[in-house]
Amino acid sequence: MTLIRLPDGVLPPPRREALPAPAPLRAMLGPGIILLGLSLGSGEFILWPRLTAEYGFAVFWACWVGVTIQFFLNMEIERYTLATGESAVTGFVRLWRGFGPVFLVCATVPWIWPGWATGGATLLTWEIGGPVTPFAVAGLILSGLVLSLGPVVYRTIETVQIVLVVVIFALALALAALVVRGESLAALAAGALRFGQIPDGIDMPLLLGALAFAGAGGTANLAQSNYIKDKGYGMGRWIGRITSPFTGRDEAGSEVGAVFEGTPEELDHFRVWWRRANIEHLFSFWFLCVLSLCLFCLLTHALLGEGAEVAEGLRFIDDQGAVLEERFGALARHAFIWAGIAVLFSTELGLLDAVSRVVVDLIATGLLRGNSRFSLSQLYIMTLWTFIAFGVGVLALGLDQPLQLLVLSASLNAVVMFLYSGLLLWLGWRCFEPPLRPGPVRVAALCTSFLFFGYFSAITIADRFF
C-alpha cells in the first residue's frame, strides 16, 4: 500500500527506505526547546510585555491563541518531515517550482534586520556602558563562531539553547515570585478570555508582529523540519546532518528525501512517532512558550502597571529594572537585565541557525540542484556568515533601533505565516493518503491560521497605507 505520493515534476522522486522503529520519548526531547529558545527574545520578552505595559492584558487572548496556532503549524511541518525526511520548504517546491524563489525572499528579507543582537547590545550597555554597535557586531560574530565550530551543528544549538532556557526560566520564576501579586494574575486570566477585543488606537504593526512572534514566527517555524531531521525523527534518520566544515566529519546529504512503503508495521511505527512528536512539542514548545509569555507579561504588569506612559524603544525594560532596584536592591535589577541579555542572545543564535537552514534547503533544491561542488554543510556556513555580514552592514549604516527592527521583521513574518498555512494544508492532502493526512482538527487549525494571519495582515496594511 503506497501512502505517500510526492510530486516529482520539479525534483527527483524520493528513494524507498524502511521507517525506523520509534525512539523513546526522552530521546526525542530537544527540537521544541530550540524553537522555544529562538521564540523568547522577541514576542515573549519585548513585544507582548510592551503591549501589556500600554494596554494591560486586553489583547492577551490573541497571545495564547497565536502560540496554539503555531503548535499546529509546527506539527504539520513535522508531519511532512517524519514521513519523507524532506523539509517542508522542499515539499513546497515540489508543489510548484515558483515557491523556491518566493520562500527564498520570505526567508531572507524579514530576518536580515539584526534587532535581537542590537537589543541584547543595548541592554549590555546599561550594565557595563559603551556604544551599542560594537557590542551588537560582537554578538553576531560570537553567534557565528558558536554555530561554525561545533562538530554537529544541531548538537551545538541544542546544548546551548537548553542551558540558556534553563537560566532564563530560573531567573524569570524567581523575579515573578518576588513581585507578582493576585491582581496581576486576575487581570491576565480576564484578558486571556476576552476574545476578539482590540483596543482603540493600538499600533497595528506592533500587534501583528506580536501575533507572529507569540512563538517562533514566520519562516523560523519551517526550520522545525531541519531540527527533527537532524535529531533523527522518522524518515529523517536517512538524511545527513549539517556538520562543521572545520571541526566535524561531513555527512552525505540529499536534496530529496526517502519514503516508506506503508506496511501495517510501518504505519504503526508512524503513529507512535507522531504521538511522541506531539507530546514533545506540546511540552517543549507550547507549554513553555505560554509560561514564558505569562511570566514576562506578569512581571511588566506588576512593575509598571497598565495604561501609563511607556518609554520609547526598549527603555520600558530599563524602567522595570529600576522598579526592581527600588524594591529589592541592585542585584534584582542586574538579574533582570542579564536575563534579558541571555534571552536576546539565545534568540539571535537560534534565528541565525534556523533561517540559514531554510535558505540552504531552498538553494540546494533550486539554484544549485544537482551541483556537487558544495556540500550542505559548506552551503550552511556560507549562508550563515552572509547573514552576519549583512547584519554588520545594517548596523554600520546606523540602523540600530532594536524595537523598530523587531516590529518590521515580525510584521513581515506574519504575512509569511498566512502564506504557508495554506500551503501546509495543500501539501498534506496532495502528498499523503488518508492514514497519514491531517485529520479534521488539524485541518480546522490550519484554516484558522490562514484566516487569522490573513485578517490581521490585511487590517494592518489597511491601517498603515489607507
Q: Which residue has the higher pLDDT, 460 or 174?
A: 174
> Of 205-209, 266-270, 330-334, 415-419, which gets the smallest average pLDDT?
205-209
Q: Give phi and psi for 356, each to the nearest 5.
A: -60, -40
pLDDT tens digits, residue range 194-244?
A: 887 888 877 777 777 777 777 777 788 898 998 998 898 999 888 877 766
Residues 403 and 152 sit within 8 Å (Cβ to Cβ): no
pLDDT > 70 in the chain, percent: 90
Query: What's the pLDDT score for residue 244?
Result: 65
Q: Which residue has the higher pLDDT, 409 or 53?
A: 53
Using CA atoms, how far apart are residues 181 and 139, in angstroms rounded to an integer?
A: 36
Query: What's the pLDDT score for residue 375?
Result: 79
What secondary structure letter does DSSP report for 46? I
Query: What's the pLDDT score for residue 125?
Result: 94
Using CA atoms, how far apart are residues 120 and 387, in angstroms rounded to an integer?
A: 18
Using CA atoms, how far apart are residues 227 and 361, in angstroms rounded to an integer?
A: 13
Query: What's the pLDDT score for residue 46?
Result: 81
pLDDT > 90 in the chain, percent: 36
Q: Which grid coordinates are listed for 319?
A: 524602567
Radius of gyration of the chain (CA): 22
The answer to whether residue 248 scores a pLDDT higher than 60 is no
Under the banding of pLDDT at 50, 70 and 90, the label for residue 465 is: low
The answer to whether residue 251 scores a pLDDT higher than 80 is no
Using CA atoms, how far apart are residues 10 and 256, in angstroms rounded to an integer?
A: 11
Query: What's the pLDDT score for residue 310?
Result: 78
Query: What's the pLDDT score for residue 214?
Result: 74
- Count of beta carbons in the 10 Å neighbourhood of residue 397: 8
Cα angle 125-126-128, degrees, rounded to a multiple of 5: 60
The answer to whether residue 408 scores a pLDDT higher than 70 is no
Give me the mean pLDDT over the 378-385 stretch. 90
Query: What's the pLDDT score for residue 9?
Result: 79
Domains along the chain with CATH numbers: 15-465 (1.20.1740)
Residue type, 429: W
Q: Which grid coordinates are listed for 260?
A: 516508506
The answer to whether residue 23 scores a pLDDT higher than 80 is yes
Q: Which residue has the higher pLDDT, 399 or 156?
A: 156
Query: What's the pLDDT score for residue 403?
Result: 62
For the ranges 56-60, 362-366, 400-404, the maximum mean pLDDT occurs at 56-60
Q: How many CA atoms lie within 13 A of 401 on its CB side?
A: 6
Using CA atoms, how far apart are residues 420 and 426, in angstroms rounded to an integer?
A: 9
Give me the mean pLDDT over the 125-149 stretch. 91
How large is the greatest C-alpha to C-alpha distance in the chain, in angstroms?
68
Mean pLDDT of the chain: 85
> In 3D, which of 454, 425, 430, 429 has the Cα closest to residue 72?
425
Residues in a beta bridge with 152: 243
pLDDT tens digits, residue range 281-307?
A: 999 999 999 999 999 999 999 999 876
pLDDT tens digits, residue range 303-338?
A: 998 766 777 778 889 999 999 999 999 999 998 899
Residue type, 103: F
Q: What share of the chain is helix, strand, coil (3-state, %, to 5)?
A: 75, 0, 25
The answer to whether residue 436 scores a pLDDT higher than 90 is yes
Using CA atoms, how far apart are residues 78 and 230, in angstroms rounded to an integer?
A: 12
- Count of beta carbons in the 10 Å neighbourhood of residue 194: 13
pLDDT tens digits, residue range 29-53?
A: 889 898 888 777 666 788 888 888 8
The answer to whether residue 252 scores a pLDDT higher than 60 is no
> In 3D, which of 326, 97, 403, 70 has the Cα closest to residue 217?
70
Under the banding of pLDDT at 50, 70 and 90, the label for residue 19 is: very high
- Count of beta carbons in the 10 Å neighbourhood of residue 382: 15
Whole-Å CA distances, 466 to 210, 416, 460, 463:
22, 21, 10, 6
Q: Can you say how many angstroms the Cα of residue 256 is from the centroid of all Cα atoms in its chain? A: 24
Residues in a beta bridge with 259: 16
The answer to whether residue 265 scores a pLDDT higher than 80 is yes
Contacts of 129 (CB under 8 A, 6+ apart): none
Using CA atoms, how far apart are residues 340 and 356, in angstroms rounded to an integer?
A: 24
60: left (phi > 0), else alpha (psi -120 to 50), else beta?
Answer: alpha
pLDDT tens digits, residue range 69-110?
A: 899 999 999 999 999 999 999 999 999 999 989 888 888 877
Q: Which residue has the higher pLDDT, 407 or 149?
A: 149
Using CA atoms, how far apart are residues 64 and 292, in angstroms rounded to an integer?
A: 11
